[in-house]
Amino acid sequence: MLNRYPLWKYLLILIVCVVGVIYALPNLYPQDPAVQISTTNGSLGSQQLDRVTQALSDDDIQVKSAAMTGNNTALIRLTDAEQQLPARDVVDNLLDNDYTVALNLADSTPSWLTSLSATPMKLGLDLRGGVHFLLEVDMEAAVEQRLKATASAIRADLRDQRIRYRSTDVDDNALHLEFANAEDRDAARDQISQTFNEFQLENRDEGRRAFLDMTLTEQAIKDIQDYAVQQNLTTIRNRVNELGVSEPLVQRQGPSRIVVELPGVQDTAEAKRIVGATANLEFRLEARPDAPDSETESFPFRNDPQRTATLSRDVIITGDRVSSASQGFDQNGRPQVNINLDGTGGSLMNQATRTNIGRNMAVLYIDHSTETRTVTRDGEQVEERIPTTSRSIISLATVQSALSNRFRITGLDSPTEASELALLLRSGSLAAPIYFVQERTIGPSLGAQNIQRGIFSVIVGGLLVIAFMLIRYKAFGVIANAALAVNLVLLIAAMSLLGATLTLPGIAGIVLTLGMAVDANVLIYERIREELRRKTPAQQAIHAGYGRAFTSIVDANLTTLLVAVVLFSIGTGPIKGFAVTLSLGILTSMFTGIVVSRALVNLSIGGKPVKKLWI
C-alpha cells in the first residue's frame, strides 16, 4: 500500500502556510524607535528637518531616516532605542513651543503587507514599556454625588410617608432640609434616622423656618471616598479590557489616584478619551404642569440647546443599572443603543412607567469635564481645575406601555458616539469624576540585560527540542521539525492577526507550546515504531501509526482546548491573554502535527515502495 494525499489537500496546506507566512512576516520588520514632530501653527519643512538631523548627529545620535509623514508631521527614525529619550530632549530644545515632540514607535512594515492589514505583534510593558497615565479621583465630587443621591432618596421617602417638606439643599459635606413647621421636621427626623445612619442629624430654627441639617460623619466620608476609588478602579479596568488592550496595568496609587499603563498604544488619544470618559445616562419623567418648582428642573436638548424641557427632579434609574449595552441602528438607519437593565433596574423602570403611561420620559446624557487652567498665584504657577457637569436631553418620548428591562435609546449623533456610549454603559460608570494629572511614556520594566537573557534562553530551549527530535527520530525528526517550524509561523501569524501583546512570559509560553506541540508527532512515531516491531510493512505501519494515534491526540487536545475556552470566556486580563495563546497553540499544533507532518511523509516516501523506515 502507498500513502498519498489527494492534490486538494496539498494545495490547502500550501495556502494555509503561505497565508501564515504573510501574516507572520511583519514581525520580522522591527519597529523603529522614533521621535515624532508635529505642529499646529508653525511651519514644518525639510529645512527644519535638516536642522534637526544635524543637531542629532552633532550629539552622536544615529538617525536612521527622517521624513515628512504629512503636511505638519515628521518622523525621525533612530537606530538605537536607548537614544530615543535623549533624541527627544535634543529636538525639544531645538524647536520652540509651536511644535509638539513625542516619542513614537514606527512600524517599518512594507506597504504591500499593510495593505493586507498585516501588522506586527505589540511588545508588552515589560519588554518595551508604554504610556503611563496618572488619574486623580475627584473626592469632593464623590461626596457631593452621594449627597445628591441621598437627597433624592429622602424626597421619595418623605413623599411616601406623606411628610411635607419645602426644599432640599446640598453644600460641603452636609444636606439641609427645610420644613414648614417643627412637627413635620420631627416626623421626618424619625423616618430619616432609621434609614440613613451615616449622618449626624441636627435641628436648626431660623425664625419660623424649621431646618434639619444632616452632616456626614468622618468615617462615612472616608468610606465614600474609598468606595469611589475602588469603583473607579474596577470601571477603568473594564474599559481598558473593552478597548482590547491586552496586558495593561491598572492600579491604585496613593489615597486618591489611579495609574493606567498601556503597552504599545502609541496613539494615546483614543485610550485617553475612553479611560477618562464620564458619560452616563439618567432616566427621568417630564414634570407635570402643576408640579412645584422645588420638584422640577429644566434641561436643554442636546441637538438643539435653544429648546428645553422641564423634568422631575427624581431620577428613575441611572446608567449604573445597565447590565449590557450594544450599538445598533433603528429602521431608519439612525444609530441607537440597545440596553438591558439588571433586575433592580428592570423593576424600578417597570414600576415608574406602569403608573405613568401617557406621560413623557426623558433620557438625559450627563458628561463631566474638567478644564485645566494655569494661573499665577503668589508668584507661582498653579494648575487650577474647574469641573463642569453638563446634562442634556437626548430623547423625550411618550411612555406607550410599561417598559421592562430591555429597551433602546435613540437621539445620538453618530454611530461612533453610540458605540462609545454602549461601551461606557457596559463597563460601568465612574463613581466620581476623574482627571489626568500626569501623562508620560514609560520605559520597559525589565532591564535590557534581563530581556536579552530571556530571549537567549528561549532560543536555546527551541534548539534543544529540535536536536532531541533529530536524535530520537532521525529522518522523521526532520519532518517533525519542519512541522514545528510551520507551527511557529502559524502561531505567530494568528497572534499578530488578533493583535496580541507579547510579554517575556508570553514568549516563554510560546516556546513551551512548541515543546508540547511535538507531542502529536511523538505519539504518532511511537505508534509507527510499535507497528514496525510487530513486523508490519513500512507503508502500512505509517498508515496505522497516524490512524491509531489520532484519537489520542484529538481527545487530549480537545480537553485542553476546553479548559482554554472556559478560561477565555470567564477570565480577564492576563488570564485571557494566556488562554488565547494556549488555544491558538493547540489548534495550530494539531494541524501541523497531524496534517502537515503527514503531508510531508506522504510527499517524501509515501509514494515509494520503502522497505525500511529510518525512524
Partner 1 sequence: MRQFDFMGKRRIAFIVSIVLTIVSIGALVLLNLNLGLDFTGGTVVELHYATVPSLDDIRTLLANSGFENFSVQTFGATDEILVRLQQTFSNDVGNQVVSALSSGGAQLELVRAEFVGAQVGDQLRDQSGLGMLVAMAGVAVYVAFRFQYKFALCALISLGHDVLIVLGLFALFQWEFDLTVLAGIMAVIGYSLNDTIIVYDRIRENIRLSRSDDMAQIFNEAINQTLSRTLATSGTTLLVLFALFFLGGDMIHNFSISLILGIVAGTFSSVYVAAALLIVFKLERQDLIPAKKENVEGEEELP
Strands (E) located in 499-553: 501-502
Site membership for partner 1, residue 558 (CB under 8 A): yes
Q: Residue 134 has which C-alpha cell?
A: 496618572
Residue span binding partner 1 (CB under 8 A) among the ranges 194-202, 272-280, 310-318, 566-574? 566-574
Rounded to a whole number of angstroms, the minimum distance from the CB of residue 439 to partner 1 is 9
Residue span binding partner 1 (CB under 8 A) among the ranges 159-167, 212-220, 548-556, 590-598? 548-556
Q: Residue 405 has which C-alpha cell?
A: 428591562
500 closest CA partner among 584, 597, 427, 613? 584
Rounded to a whole number of angstroms, the minimum distance from the CB of residue 450 to partner 1 is 5
Rounded to a whole number of angstroms, the minimum distance from the CB of residue 506 to partner 1 is 8
Residue span binding partner 1 (CB under 8 A) among the ranges 104-112, 266-274, 319-327, 439-447? 439-447
Site membership for partner 1, residue 28 (CB under 8 A): no
Site membership for partner 1, residue 2 (CB under 8 A): no
Measured between alpha carbons, how far apart are the two ends of the chain, in Å?
19
Closest CB to partner 1 among residues 205, 555: 555
199 DSSP β-pair partners? 216
- Give the interface size with partner 1 as a residue count (CB under 8 A): 82
Rounded to a whole number of angstroms, the minimum distance from the CB of residue 513 to partner 1 is 8
Rounded to a whole number of angstroms, the minimum distance from the CB of residue 225 to partner 1 is 14
Query: Residue 83: how many CB atoms within 10 A of its CB?
Result: 19
Binding to partner 1 by CB under 8 A, coded x per residue (else -) over 201-240, reads --------------------------------xx--x---
Residue span binding partner 1 (CB under 8 A) among the ranges 62-70, 109-117, 253-261, 412-420? 253-261
Residue 220 CB-half CA count within 13 A: 15
Query: Residue 7: how many CB atoms within 10 A of its CB?
Result: 8
Rounded to a whole number of angstroms, the minimum distance from the CB of residue 277 to partner 1 is 20
Site membership for partner 1, residue 593 (CB under 8 A): no
Restricted to residues 568-587, the positions that interact with partner 1 (CB under 8 A) are: 570-575, 578-579, 582
Backbone angles phi, psi at 313, to 5 degrees: -70, -20
Site membership for partner 1, residue 272 (CB under 8 A): no
CA pair distance 105, 603, nearest whole angstrom: 44
Q: Residue 249 has which C-alpha cell?
A: 496595568
Rounded to a whole number of angstroms, the minimum distance from the CB of residue 52 to partner 1 is 18
- Residue given cell 460641603 in the structure block: 172
Closest CB to partner 1 among residues 105, 396: 105
CA pair distance 108, 31, nearest whole angstrom: 6
Of 19, 85, 94, 595, the residue at the interface with partner 1 (CB under 8 A) is 85
Closest CB to partner 1 among residues 516, 610: 516
Site membership for partner 1, residue 450 (CB under 8 A): yes
- Residue given cell 437621539 in the structure block: 411
Site membership for partner 1, residue 265 (CB under 8 A): no
Cβ(76)–Cβ(53) under 8 Å?
A: yes
- Please report, as a single letter, which amino acid is at residue 561: L
Closest CB to partner 1 among residues 190, 555: 555
CA pair distance 545, 532, nearest whole angstrom: 10
Cβ(337)–Cβ(425) under 8 Å?
A: yes
Binding to partner 1 by CB under 8 A, coded x per residue (else -) over 384-423, reads ----------------------------------------
CB contact set of 427 (below 8 Å; sequence gap of 6+): 235, 238, 239, 241, 242
Site membership for partner 1, residue 180 (CB under 8 A): no
Closest CB to partner 1 among residues 485, 512: 512
Rounded to a whole number of angstroms, the minimum distance from the CB of residue 470 to partner 1 is 12
Restricted to residues 116-175, the positions that interact with partner 1 (CB under 8 A) are: 126, 129, 132
Restricted to residues 287-346, the positions that interact with partner 1 (CB under 8 A) are: none
> ∠68-73-77 over CA atoms, to 5°?
60
Residue 440 CB-half CA count within 13 A: 9
CA pair distance 215, 194, nearest whole angstrom: 15
Secondary structure letter of residue 120 according to DSSP? P
Site membership for partner 1, residue 567 (CB under 8 A): yes
Rounded to a whole number of angstroms, the minimum distance from the CB of residue 58 to partner 1 is 18
Residue span binding partner 1 (CB under 8 A) among the ranges 3-11, 282-290, 448-456, 492-500? 448-456
Site membership for partner 1, residue 41 (CB under 8 A): no
Per DSSP, the three-state class of 285 is: strand
Of 197, 540, 555, 614, the residue at the interface with partner 1 (CB under 8 A) is 555
Closest CB to partner 1 among residues 397, 460: 460
Restricted to residues 488-547, the positions that interact with partner 1 (CB under 8 A) are: 504-505, 508-509, 511-512, 514-516, 518-519, 522-523, 526, 529-530, 533
Closest CB to partner 1 among residues 285, 446: 446
Residue 212 CB-half CA count within 13 A: 26
106 DSSP β-pair partners? 32
CA pair distance 128, 81, nearest whole angstrom: 10
Cβ(585)–Cβ(491) under 8 Å?
A: yes
CA pair distance 3, 544, nearest whole angstrom: 11
Of 166, 441, 485, 595, the residue at the interface with partner 1 (CB under 8 A) is 441
Restricted to residues 456-495, the positions that interact with partner 1 (CB under 8 A) are: 456-458, 460-462, 464-465, 468-469, 472
CA pair distance 351, 283, nearest whole angstrom: 13
Cβ(426)–Cβ(325) under 8 Å?
A: yes
Restricted to residues 360-379, the positions that interact with partner 1 (CB under 8 A) are: none
